[in-house]
Amino acid sequence: MGSAPGPGPTAPAVGAEPEPGPAADAGQALLIDAARRCIAHWGVRKTSLDDIAREAGVARATVYRAFPGGKDRLMAAVWQHEADRVLQASEEALAGAATLEDLLTAGLVTAFGLIRDDEVLRAVLEHEPELILRHFAFHRLDGVLDLVAALGRPHLARFLPEAAIRPAADLVARTALTFGFRPPDWFDPRDPAAARQLVRTYLVPAITPPEEPPCPRTTS
């Protein structure tokens, strides 16, 4: 007779942290993608863990093993995923800018495209706008501006003195939010040429430090 089989692998207890490694990362990515699709269909509040598990083709317990804490933890991972996508897209767009005008135009075009085309953001704005817009209220906007300033600093530093970087980042961020979410009737955020014209006409003159006037010559 053969020896008795030893104990097999045990499933992580509900509430335990998932084991790190490629398998855990792949499982989390699968669930994040499924959650994004569910949110795009129904919004955040109407999306349940059962919906996400069914969309991902896994059991509900698998969701809890991957994201202890349930829906709140999974939603936090979705928002982090969206933020990472924004940062990656922005970095790629800004890195190749040869002039300040190119840099600001690339930043605005990227921001407008993300606001317009991101399926999760569009769904939340349509079904539950308060979940997004509350972060842009006056008392919470500082966090958004801090993030934009941190992202833009190394790129703006190529063209602006240190003292002008934060004001420039603030102005560009406020322009992106205002013209992206509620564009005026004279501006089309889908048109890169319109974004460049906005940058050339208003933003570059506003954030470029004025040149020092020449010292008057004295006659002997």
Per-residue pLDDT of the chain (220 residues; tens, 9 = 90+): 333 333 333 333 333 344 444 545 788 999 999 999 998 888 888 889 999 999 999 999 999 999 988 888 998 898 888 878 877 878 888 888 999 999 999 999 988 988 888 778 777 777 676 666 555 555 566 777 787 788 888 999 999 999 999 999 989 988 988 898 888 999 999 999 999 999 999 999 999 876 655 555 555 5
Are 178 and 136 spatial neighbours (Cβ–Cβ below 8 Å)? no
Burial 173-189 (b: 16+ CB within 10 A, else e): bebbbebbeeeeeeeeb
pTM for this structure? 0.65
Distance of CA 10 to the CA centre of its chain: 37
Domain housing 64: 18-76
Domain count for the chain, please give it.
2
Assigned domain for 157 exists: yes
Q: In this predicted structure, what is the pLDDT of residue 95?
A: 87
Kindly report the length of the chain.
220
- Judge whether 81 lies within some domain: no
Rounded CA-CA distance 97/46 in Å is 42
Inside any domain, residue 56 = yes
Closest CA to 51 of 73, 71, 65: 71
**pLDDT for 101:** 95
